[in-house]
Amino acid sequence: MKNRVISIGLLIVAISLAGYLVYGIKSSIDEKERIARVERKVIEKLMTIRKAEIGFQAKYGDYTADWDSLANFIKADSFFITEKSETIITLAYGADSVIVNIDTLGTVSVMDSLFSTPEFSKYDFLALKFIPENKNKAEFEIFAGQIEKSGVKIHVIEVRDTEPADPTRSEENDGRNRKPLRFGSRTDVTTSGNWE
């Protein structure tokens, strides 16, 4: 009888230990899947912001650090449709003169030009600034400014995730791809993302 009680006790301990190990492994796998899912959403949103910022810079000559300006640009602004033609005239002394004509044919909205795919038809561009699935409603950090390279002022942009889903992502990490998700740079002329 005593051996039977010990056997039952050991069986309960073994089952509990096995359940604890299975739960620990499963929760670790679930957390990795959650981080991967959230990071995919963050990357998708960063790519949308990048597309809008590049369009804004193409129209206005610089980037914007104002979320409302960016959202209004997407929803209400437009690009000019132009046609460029060149006429080459040979001058009497053999040189060529080029006359460039640029005609404005019309306009196309930013939505139709950059965001015409179905996934953007009901997209809330006012929520661009919010990091996906963040309980604190944290916002992306946006920097738009100018740097000087070889005596020339150049516009730069950087947008980064301020509260990464992956706790191992940190500004102190050496590898660019282990820092919080971002695109652009405050010190270099680039709009590439650190996930690429």
In a domain, 65, yes or no: yes
For residue 55, pLDDT beyond 80 = yes
Mean pLDDT computed over 180-188: 89
In a domain, 58, yes or no: yes
Expressed as residue numbers, the domain containing 126 is 40-184
In a domain, 103, yes or no: yes
Dihedral of the alpha carbons of 15, 20, 24, 30, in degrees to the nearest 10: 70
In a domain, 31, yes or no: no
Mean pLDDT computed over 31-48: 89
* pLDDT in the model for residue 46: 93
Of 196, 163, 193, residue with least CA distance to 50:
193
In a domain, 62, yes or no: yes
Number of separate domains in the chain:
1
Enter the pTM of the model.
0.78
39 with 166: CB under 8 angstroms? yes
In a domain, 6, yes or no: no
In a domain, 115, yes or no: yes
Q: What share of the chain is helix, strand, coil (3-state, %, to 5)?
A: 40, 25, 30
Strand extents, DSSP E, 113-151: 141-149
C-alpha–C-alpha distance, residues 42 and 47, integer Å: 9
In a domain, 74, yes or no: yes
